[in-house]
Structure 1
Amino acid sequence: MSARTPPRLLDLAGRHLLRADDLDSSTLESLPTELFPPLFLEAFDGYRTETLKAMVQTWPFVRLPLGALIELPHVGPLQAVLEALDVLLAQKTRSRRCKLRVLDSENTGQNFWSMWLGASSDGCSSSREAAVAEPRSTTKRPSTPLKVFIDLCLKKRSLDNFLTYFLRWVEQRRSSVHLCCKKLKIVSMPMDSIVKVLSMVQLDCIQEVQKQEHDHVVQITSQLRRLGHLLDLHLESSSFLGGCLDQMLRCLKSPLDSLSITKCWLTESDLTHLSQSPDISQLKSLDLSGVTMTDFRPELLPVLLERVAATLQELDLDVCGITDTQLEAFLPALSRCSQLRFFSLCGNLLSTAVMEKLLRHTAALPCLRQERYPAPQESYRPRGVLPEARLAQLRAQLLEILRDLGKPRIIWIGLCPCPRCGEDVCPHMEPIIYSGPAPA
């Protein structure tokens, strides 16, 4: 039986400091850097507000990743941190120890805490310290605003305690605090509330917007005009979007990397405007799953794919009601998507003959690694059941096609609905693997 590793002297000293009632900034000036993160965590969880204030004012790192700690509303510890920041913002000179420039309230930063907690068992790492802490500098500090990062989700209900308190604090300190939001999600909220919140945000920091069902398309698009660095746009179940997609696209200031329009009703004109938009010219990911296209003219999808063929890496067309005629029409354009890595067509009713054509076209794509296709419609019985014997026959048939093509490949075949969970897109797919011809 191995003996338990005794605690280090540094750990014992840290626990003793937390028991002290008079822990202040002067005491923390000489505290080893590696003790700050574990002591901060214990003080935060233990609601030791005075200790938190002292630690924030002597924080030896540029960034304080607070968001990783706030899974539930911790208004008490949060208030202590913000009160300490008020002291820092009011100071013309700071502690030589304090390097704090960024308060990160996004749901990130777990690696930071894990890395430093690991120091309690691994010993102090000079490379670890050098990677996170900056060298000490003079007491003179530039009057640059404190950057505060947060992910925002604007819902119809009132904001939770944490966000309400936090935004009020930011609003009262606009001259000295810059609120930065990389990910913005709007579910449903009164327009005046949305405008009020966005007026506090540095809009050029926003990189991703998710919008869900809102009736004020004109007001929303007016806000999108201010997002000069938007890279990813996600629209889900947006009842207002049909016939209005061109208004949304005209608001974009720069080309997108990722566009997701899912479970929405779109018109043919929407798809035409999308194909003509200059902001999809560099698109890497396109997700139109759940957008019904059954009655669309077959030539619409080929035009869209031609526009993105040079850069597209991910394409999701699940449950779009795509027909054999439509698929055959866009196969030539699809075969020119030379950067494509992921392609999914699950939940569409396609014939075995067209499926074979699809496999032959995609075989020429050099980067394609993940392919998800529906079981051909001939495989199902009249009531939508696919017997085990028929499934085995289908797998053997598709494997023979892969052998004929001669390229090592893995494809996934999904049933609709999924026999296990009933979903339109089957999450329980088993791959069909062809490893290439056997060596001579």
Structure 2
Amino acid sequence: MPTQLCPHPKYLNVRCFRCLPGCMSGASHYRSFRMSMKVPPTLLQLAGQSLLRNEALALSALEKLPMELFPPLFMEALTRRHTEVVKAMVQAWPFSCLPLGALMKTRDLETLQITLDGIDMLLSEQIRPRRWKLQVLDLRTAHQNFWNVWSGAMAEYWAPQAKSRNQAEEVPPWKGVKQPLRLIVDLNLELDDLDELQIYLFEWVQQRKSSIQLCCRKMQIWGLCTCGSRAWPIHRVLGLLELDCMEEVVVHCPWTLCALGMFAPYLGQMRNLCKLRISQICVSENIDPDNYKQLVATFTSQFSKLGCLRKLCMSSAYFLHGHLHQVLSCLEAPLESLSITHCLLEESDLQCLSNCLSIHQLKHLSLRGVMLTHVCPEPLQILLHRVADTLKTLDLEDCGIRDSQLTALLPALSHCSQLTTFSFFGNRISMSVLKDLLHQTARLSQLSQELYPAPLESYGGLGAVRTGKVSQHCAELMDTLRARREPRVVLFGIDPCPQCGNRCVYNMEGILRCYWMAA
């Protein structure tokens, strides 16, 4: 019965489906409902099936085909590999955006080739087809709902004038000027093994540079090649893109400082970049000091051009040692998230961080793996005071913080009223100071995840863990916290195993277990 599929009485009316997108799984829910009711196909569906039985008729009918029939007919033509119909439909596409990526299977080169052949036919036309509105070919996996809502009788809900957050990206109509067609992609570059689809796309765009814009919103880079023998080294790919469309860049591979300097001019053109993550920037011991300073300056100066940057993550970026001020002084807009992890920093770097104008609205801060053992706590104290009203997550794992430093930080930490996650594993803190820490964090009502180190008293003379002591001390600390408030998630962790890297933790159920802790 339909009432088993959905509690809403309006679903009993076959013609009323306006709330379907917000209920369960949208179009799939509707299809299940239709199957249970054995409702016959709609007139649009029957018309599409009839057209595809006669390809010549389908081709001749496209000029007068209702726009409501285009998406379901396009899907059916792709599925049945009616190549000529697909190409003709691309030329007569009545919407400004064709979200092809949502229909493509992984590495679906054939679908891409068919569609691009249709675009080639468009580009070769001296006079545009009367109905052509296509301005964007979207190859991302987004916009699945565009196809779902057009796949059945819900076309009535998607009237041509309707606007919805589920619609594919809309762009202004043509105004008589021949503008480039935009291709939107998300790129995952493994340059040691570029897949055939990416190579085909790059070569196709390269040959049509004057009439095609390749726009990438999100890019992940897993390798770097700058030698001339490669067909598509990283600098050639970056040179092909409309870089001011870039919103997110993540570099997963180790780069030298020279490679970072090569990347810098392209970074400076990414004026709408919101998120940047780089890691493993190695500095050669043999590099000339003057060259070193010049390369660092070349890279850091680009940050002054990134007015939209809100999330910055630098991990194992060893060039930051003594040079963090060059990055921070160039930031134009307030950061929302800052992560500087597994880096060597001087006390002057932390002083620059605490005085940085762009951190006053910071919500997420991570200094994981930055050794602070011999650093004065005052800069971090000032930093916590400045972000106390906005900070939600604070990660100080494996920073080597000692009792005296933590004691100095406690007043500032207790004012971080919005804090939801506090990660403090891997610091050498005594039982008495940990109790003081728990008394302070007990005031933070928003805390939902707390990760504390097991106290120093849980270790033997040579640093060996005494599991009995761990359980005893952590149970006592948990009682201390529960006496002040009811915690949500609290873990006490011992030092990671030097062989496997796993960390044993004492949980709220009083059980000591071994967990793999993500970096």
Deviations 1:320-378 (A, max 9, x none): 34333333333333333344333322344433333333333334445444433344444
Offset of residue 408 of structure 1: 4.7
Name which of 269, 274, 280 aligns with 1:226: 269
Residue 199 of structure 1 corresponds to which residue in structure 2? Answer: 239
C-alpha separation between the residues in 1 aligned to 2:400 and 2:75? 52
C-alpha separation between the residues in 1 aligned to 2:333 and 2:405? 30
Residue 416 of structure 2 corresponds to which residue in structure 1? Answer: 337
Structure with the larger RCO, 1 or 2 (CA within 8 Å, 6+ apart): 1
Name which of 255, 260, 268 aligns with 1:214: 255
Contact 2:150 2:158 in 1 (8 A): no
Q: How many residues align?
A: 424
1:5 paired to 2:38: yes
Contact 1:23 1:54 in 2 (8 A): no
Contact 1:75 1:162 in 2 (8 A): yes
Offset of residue 8 of structure 1: 0.6
Residue 180 of structure 1 corresponds to which residue in structure 2? Answer: 215
Residue 488 of structure 2 corresponds to which residue in structure 1? Answer: 410
Residue 196 of structure 2 corresponds to which residue in structure 1? Answer: 161
- Other structure's SS at 1:337 match: coil
C-alpha separation between the residues in 1 aligned to 2:217 and 2:504? 32
Return the TM-score normalized by structure 2.
0.68
C-alpha separation between the residues in 2 aligned to 1:18 and 1:262? 58
Q: 1:3 to 1:231 in 2, by over 3 A?
A: closer
1:28 paired to 2:62: yes
Offset of residue 80 of structure 1: 1.7
Counterpart amino acid of residue 246 in structure 2: I
Residue 436 of structure 1 corresponds to which residue in structure 2? Answer: none
C-alpha separation between the residues in 1 aligned to 2:456 and 2:53? 70
Counterpart amino acid of residue 392 in structure 2: Q
- Other structure's SS at 2:55 match: coil
Give the 5 Å matches for 1:45-60.
45-60=79-94
Name which of 428, 431, 435 aligns with 1:352: 431
Contact 1:221 1:248 in 2 (8 A): no
Task: Give the % identical residues.
Answer: 42
Give the 5 Å matches for 1:429-440.
none
Residue 435 of structure 1 corresponds to which residue in structure 2? Answer: none
1:288 paired to 2:329: no
1:243 paired to 2:278: no
Residue 399 of structure 2 corresponds to which residue in structure 1? Answer: 320
Give the 5 Å matches for 1:103-122.
103-117=137-151, 119=152
**Which consecutive residues of structure 1, in runs of 5 or more, have no partner in the other structure?**
433-440
Q: 1:403 to 1:18 in 2, by over 3 A?
A: same
RMSD across aligned positions (CA) = 4.0
Return the TM-score normalized by structure 1.
0.78
C-alpha separation between the residues in 2 aligned to 1:411 and 1:168? 52
Contact 1:25 1:58 in 2 (8 A): no
Residue 126 of structure 1 corresponds to which residue in structure 2? Answer: 157
Offset of residue 89 of structure 1: 4.2
Q: 1:317 to 1:44 in 2, by over 3 A?
A: farther
1:147 paired to 2:182: yes
Q: Which deviates further from its counterpart, 46-55 or 244-253?
A: 244-253
C-alpha separation between the residues in 1 aligned to 2:210 and 2:72? 32
Counterpart amino acid of residue 186 in structure 1: I
Residue 102 of structure 1 corresponds to which residue in structure 2? Answer: 136
- Other structure's SS at 2:450 match: strand
Q: Which deviates further from its counterpart, 180-189 or 300-309?
A: 300-309
C-alpha separation between the residues in 2 aligned to 1:85 and 1:171? 15
Deviations 1:3-57 (A, max 9, x none): 6625414334433434443365542344454544344344445544323222222
Counterpart amino acid of residue 235 in structure 2: V
Offset of residue 413 of structure 1: 0.7
Q: 1:379 to 1:217 in 2, by over 3 A?
A: same
Contact 1:232 1:257 in 2 (8 A): no
Contact 2:494 2:505 in 1 (8 A): no
Counterpart amino acid of residue 441 in structure 2: T
